[in-house]
A and B are shown apart, each in its own frame.
Chain A
Amino acid sequence: MFKKILIANRGEIAVRIIRACKEIGIETVAVYSDVDKKALHVQLADEAYLLGPAPPLESYLNIDKIIQATKKSKAEAIHPGYGFLAENYLFSKRCEDEKITFIGPNSKALRLVGDKLESRNTMTQAKIPIIPGMKMKGGSLKDFEEQAEKIGYPVMLKASAGGGGKGMRIIHSKEELKSSVEAGMREAKSAFGDESVYLEKCIERPRHIEFQVLADNYGNAAHLFERECSIQRRHQKIIEETPSTAVTPELRTEMGKTAVKVIQTANYNNAGTVEFLLDEKGKYYFLEVNARIQVEHPITEMVTGVDLVKSQIRIANCEKLPFKQEELSQRGHAIECRIYAEDPENDFLPSFGKVLFIKEPSGPGIRNDSGLYSGIEVTMHYDPILAKLICWGENRESARRKAIQALSDYAILGIKTQVNYLKDLLSHQEFVDGNTRTDFIPKNMSEWKEKRSREKLRETALIAGAIQSMEKTSPKGKMVKATGFDPWISLGRWEIGA
């Protein structure tokens, strides 16, 4: 087993990976940018190296600096997390050349599945069902116009190098094409360093169903069932669940087999997710392979009992897959809610600043994956995801109710989050009924406003504020000042006697 692993990421996923390493008994190395000096992943790791200024290209996306830190720390492997360099085959190739283990797929497979267009073509040859669309990236605007006409509006613009909704847009008409293509290219360039985009047919009202697959270095592969991720805002998933209400046991077996075939066709190893769209008629199409640990991986862990991050590390360590397909099963139901630093009452604009105080919910079946603590500064430089709340129940309804209750107990003070929006979404009758399609949010949540009765609670807040003010003025007051954070935290890294 590796003695030391460098985690080339930040935020909740870096924390998640550090924990997995510690449980196995592997030393951890964190890397960070100027604004992340006090981040939780830096505090938890055994060693930490400064990469540089906040912009990702000068820090978390800078291959040279990360390789330097790996050599300096003598780490034997790099876990890239998700986002940043996770699906960059040049990075994976560089690791191979430098004799550093990249915890993820081999660079050839990564290159193939990372190129959405090339993988579409490869999968067509393997008779995997794909969405009709362009076979090559678009060049001139005229080229896009012609292709869009050929495919038929509405069309979906996608980044060839992309994932996670970056650079992605639905285009309804020729008038929208120019600005959408330009914006998509800019977003793709800034997110992936590659501005190639292409168009495919827009499948109306689909469900987004993905299968988690693990494959070892010896050709063994098994899927760990599906995750439904249809609840998306601007192509950004916000709630995921497993099992899916739309997947029957027969369909699960069939899609699972297809997913494993996709992985084997690509000669892919380590953890990967095969994404499908499921249309209203129950027909499914291969979308892409997400060649990384995914944000929503915990729900699979909750129902299968398999630790995916540890599995990734073990596979990278050339261990064989410890189970066969028929030994895996799903138990109960899990729902993940992504907590974003966004203001749902103000068009979901990002919200920054200091998290003055945080109290995460707890209880049986409740899991928090987060990089937050009271006093942390949320900056504008990175993805607005703050934390993930994962709830498990014996069935869907109990998981749903647990998630709503847990969200009600989630106190994050100082910045805006969309916790109440998530609560209302989970309470919506269409969600209760399992009618989850990718148009769920525009259809059911576009008119959303804070509507619960706050009258009584407002009174409580005023009383609390007034009593606090009164106690502050009294020399014998019960408390002096409710500061936003503990001074020990703001001290950062320190050593006694240093």
Chain B
Amino acid sequence: MEFEFNLEDKLYKISIEKKGDTYFVDLGNSKREVEFQVISSNCFSLTIDGHNQTVYIAEAENKRFIFVQGEQFVIQEKEAAKVRKKEDEAGLVDGKQLVRAPMPGRILKILVSEGERVRKKQSLVIVEAMKMEHEIKSALDGIVKKVNFKENQMVDTEEPIMELEEEK
């Protein structure tokens, strides 16, 4: 069987064949022989080319969280990985920058208003979560085109709080 997984923004192709109790795994650049035991619904024991590894696994929506020797990995099957509107290197979409909430929280203070000119590193908005305040600063010199929120409103991760237009 063939699988395609998205992991850390890279796509990996894996093919597996099962013969008896052994899985023959082809990762493209390497081939492995694997024995596999289910310890519990969240815990597998793998023997990869003779080496034992205990793996913890949990699933939510389309994501699979996998813990291997102190490291956590998140994999998604190819079709589940969503694509966001392409941003260029400076995070600009069509010459505008969206100032996104870095985490869910409450908009504590909006420090600029529409039409205002802002400097790079100027504080734009303060978001509060878990009793801590987080200041979001401007990444560019520009003008505030649009403010999508009011103070005290709740905001979710990645939601655009405001739009800035770069000053040329």
Contact = CB atoms under 8 A, between A and B. Distances in A.
B1 interface: yes
Contacts of B133: 183, 186-187
Given A374-B42, A382-B130, A463 B25 contact: yes
Nearest to A347: B102
B38 A349 contact: no
B29 to A, nearest CB: 10
B42 A166 contact: no
Contact of B53 (A346, A357, A460): A460
Nearest to B75: A465
Given A463-B14, A484-B58, A420 B67 contact: no
Interface string A210-230: 000000000000000000000
**Most B-side CB within 10 Å, residue of A183, A454, A459:** A459
Contact of A464 (B12, B57, B70): B57
Contact of A461 (B66, B108, B128): B66
Contacts of A351: 103
A454 B58 contact: no
Interface in B115-138: 123, 126, 128-134
A349 B123 CA distance: 17
Interface string B1-37: 1010101100010101010000101010010101010
B7 A466 contact: no
Given A420-B70, A464-B46, A467-B16, A481 B41 contact: yes
Contacts of B36: 467, 471, 478
A458 interface: yes
Contacts of B166: none
B149 interface: no
B114 to A, nearest CB: 22
Interface string A344-381: 00110111111011010000000000000010000011
Nearest to B106: A380
Nearest to A473: B1
B145 to A, nearest CB: 25
Given A380-B104, A482-B41, A356 B58 contact: yes
Contacts of B72: 411-413
B87 interface: no
A194 B72 CA distance: 41
Contact of A357 (B56, B70, B104, B129): B56
A470 B18 contact: yes
A420 B71 contact: yes
Interface in A401-454: 407-414, 419-420, 423, 452, 454
A191 B7 contact: no
Nearest to A179: B123
Nearest to B64: A465
Interface in B46-86: 46, 48, 53, 55-60, 64-73, 75, 77
A457 interface: yes
Contacts, number: 169
B142 interface: no
Contacts of A190: 128, 131
In which size bucket is the chain B interface?
35 or more
Contacts of B64: 465, 468, 482
B130 A381 contact: yes
**Most A-side CB within 10 Å, residue of B8, B30, B44, B126:** B44
Contacts of A466: 3, 5, 14, 16, 25
A87 B8 CA distance: 45
A498 interface: no
A332 interface: no
Contacts of A354: 60
A384 interface: yes
A469 B3 contact: yes
A354 B60 CA distance: 9
B38 A467 contact: no
A357 B55 contact: no
Given A383-B130, A461-B66, A484 B73 contact: no
A356 B65 contact: yes
Contacts of A191: 131
Contact of B46 (A166, A356, A460): A460
A285 B89 CA distance: 49
Interface in A170-192: 179, 183, 186-187, 190-191
Contacts of B65: 356-357, 413-414
A325 B96 CA distance: 67
B60 A460 contact: no
Given A190-B131, A478-B38, A481-B41, A457 B59 contact: no
A462 interface: yes
B131 A463 contact: no
B27 A462 contact: yes
27 contacts: A341-B130, A349-B134, A351-B103, A352-B104, A359-B56, A374-B58, A381-B130, A384-B132, A410-B70, A412-B72, A413-B57, A414-B65, A419-B70, A457-B73, A462-B5, A462-B12, A463-B48, A464-B66, A466-B5, A467-B25, A467-B36, A479-B38, A479-B41, A482-B42, A483-B41, A483-B58, A483-B59
Which 9 residue pairs are nearest across A and B when measured between Cβ atoms?
A: A356-B58, A408-B70, A357-B58, A413-B65, A461-B73, A411-B67, A413-B58, A461-B66, A466-B14
